[in-house]
A = this chain, B = another copy of it.
Amino acid sequence: MRKVKYLVASTLDGFIARPDGSVDWLIMDGTDYRMGEFFKSIDAVLLGRKTYEFALRHSSKPEGKDKSKGVEGDTSPDSGMKNYVFSSTMKNAPDDGLEIISENAGEFVRNLKSETGKDIWLMGGGELAKSLLAENVVDEISLNVHPILLGAGLPLFPETGKQIDLELTECKSHKNGCVQVTYRVKH
């Protein structure tokens, strides 16, 4: 069965962005986070609406980035990646590579996992992660913890009220001070 992987950069105090959504604190210094390897393992992306809008703004930057290694990766329709945006307010998908899921997120993801395909990236944000963690459809959590306390921001793990046991499968520190940790969710 396809795995759902919540892979995201975070601060040590558990934020994925500043209160206004900005991620200027991300360290993009060429350190090999092995994102290329990760992107080869997936063919679908799950995003909340705000994360989708952020990714859209970010990917349209004229200067561009090496998307094969960026945290965001190349998840555009051109890449063959299927994007699922979870939103109760968006009505029309702006392009073919995008599908809007407006209800029953857990059930949708459960069905998606049972289909044939590669693994599935839960890109975020925290609210979608909260919902899917509560629905017990997330299989892996992989954080790139940045050496900073923001003091406020958008939470990586909004409170679910539910205990989830994990198994550490990988831990690697980088010269730039980031710590990558990966956990298997014990279902």
Contact = CB atoms under 8 A, between A and B. Distances in A.
Stoichiometry, as copies per complex, reads 2
B168 A159 contact: no
Contacts of A25: 163
Given A145-B181, A149-B160, 14 more contacts: A12-B157, A12-B181, A13-B14, A13-B156, A25-B163, A147-B165, A147-B168, A148-B165, A149-B163, A151-B159, A151-B164, A152-B160, A168-B173, A168-B179
Interface in A142-172: 143, 145, 147-152, 156-157, 159-168, 171
Contacts of A14: 13-14, 157
A159 B166 contact: no
A12 B171 contact: no
A71 interface: no
Query: Which of A145, A167, A168 has the most chain B CB within a 10 Å cutoff?
Result: A168
A148 B173 contact: no
Interface residues of A, number: 33
7 smallest beta-carbon distances between A and B, as pairs: A171-B173, A13-B157, A168-B177, A147-B166, A149-B164, A151-B160, A14-B14
Contacts of A178: 168
A33 interface: no
A141 interface: yes
A152 to B, nearest CB: 5
B173 A177 contact: no
A38 interface: no
A179 B177 contact: no
A177 B166 contact: yes
A157 B165 contact: no
A133 interface: yes
